[in-house]
Amino acid sequence: KTGREEVGKMLREYRRKIYKKIRFETWYRKGNYYWSKRDKMDEIIEKYKGPEAFEDRRYLRRLKRDMIRSLFKYGSYYSEYFLYDYEGKDPEYRASFITEGIRMSFYPRMNKRKNTDILENKYRTYKKFENMYKREVIRIRKNEDPTQENLKKLQEFAGRHGEYVVKPVYAAFGKAVRIENIAMYDSVEDAHEHYRKYGAVIEEKIEQGWEMARIHEGSVNTLRIPTVIIRNEKNEPEIRLFHPSLRMGREGSFVDNFSAGGISALIDPDSGVIYTDGADKKGHSYECHPDSKVKFKGFGIPRWEEAVAMVKEAAMMIPDNHYCGWDLAFARDRGWCMVEANCTAQMGAMQMVEKKGRRHELEDLITQMQEKRDCDEAVR
């Protein structure tokens, strides 16, 4: 049994290493998606087109062929085919989007891979930007021993915070993020045993300020501010904001993530004012938040300059990392605080809301990033 466990562990580690190397490759992402969704096409079509799409079999066959063709040519996942309004559009329009199938290929061109783990491991991100988190965070390691010291750490943390947020160490799209309290378990030993199974980052819950709570009280609404570091005309480093957005939850959901049913609206980077309607990943558009009835256009983000200053400072703290998506929340009595960082931040919301592709803009910025890298290497 021990031998089989060791072999299994070695195989899992080997798969992880292979995945880390190929996950940025477009052929892998397209092929993997095609295989995983081979039995889901009808479900996706019905979600966006309704049951009437199945009444015309010739139309349905043409639609499926075009969806598959778009996947392999443009990298558009089947949901993106509808969310970006690909149907009936010309090749130039379709090629203008940064789709999920090709998105990962951009990051190695912008960021050094050595920085990836700092920004994907949620606890390492916290340790790097601890002063910007403005709250207490602890980690329970995977298979961590339930020593008296480790149990005491968890017990004391839970004593200071009635409710807290539990996250996987590595996670995306708001998956498995939940609010818990120690009373949910029979004992601190029971809680520790649960968390050590996969490992967890446990955070003090953010008490949201009213300025942001009024747009949706049930979720901690966050800013997603992507930063890009380039060289300007004076050959000096310059940080630009790449289509920042506000993300809000729905119907009492604690998670605001766009991929978890939330709503996103775009923010003018100069003024900090929302200038679009909201949109969700189901293809719906909203003039006002459907729960709070607060209008999106014209909503001003509080203390926007402070949020911008924070992400610009953070961006300069990771050398050779020229693109990153920063998530900030507005905490009561603490102001803007960092939620997490994303060196492979999704770009769906910034394109979906306005049905406007950003690929050419990003390509232009990458050219300027490369110029910065050339200058840095010359200095070295």
Residues 6+ apart with CB under 8 A from 29: 23, 75, 100, 101, 102, 104
For residue 369, name the pLDDT band (cuts at 50, 70, 90).
Answer: confident
| Region class of 355: left (phi > 0), else alpha (psi between -120 and 50), else beta | left
For residue 34, name the pLDDT band (cuts at 50, 70, 90).
Answer: very high
pLDDT in tens, 84-131: 999 999 999 999 999 999 999 999 999 988 888 788 899 999 999 999
What pLDDT does residue 2 have? 64
Q: How far, in Å, CA of 355 to CA of 371, rounded?
A: 30
> For 265-322, what is the HEC assignment?
EEECCCCCEECCCEEECCCCEECECCCCCCECCCCECCCHHHHHHHHHHHHCCCCCEC
Task: Specify the amino acid at residue 207.
Answer: E
Residues 6+ apart with CB under 8 A from 147: none
Check: CB of residue 280 under 8 Å from CB of residue 79.
no
The H-assigned helical ranges of 23-89 are 26-36, 41-49, 57-74, 78-83
Q: What is the spatial order of strands in the sheet that 137-140 belongs to?
A: 137-140, 200-204, 164-167, 178-180
Predicted confidence (pLDDT) at residue 355 exceeds the cutoff of 80 = yes
Q: How far, in Å, CA of 338 to CA of 323, rounded?
A: 17
Provide the token pair at 283: 């293809």
pLDDT in tens, 231-282: 888 778 899 999 999 999 887 555 545 555 689 999 999 999 999 999 999 9
Using alpha carbons, select from 174, 31, 19, 18 the residue that is nearest to residue 102.
31
Q: How far, in Å, CA of 134 to CA of 204, rounded?
A: 10
Angle formed at CA 102 by CA 97 and CA 104, multiple of 5 degrees: 120
Q: Answer yes or no: pTM beyond 0.75.
A: yes
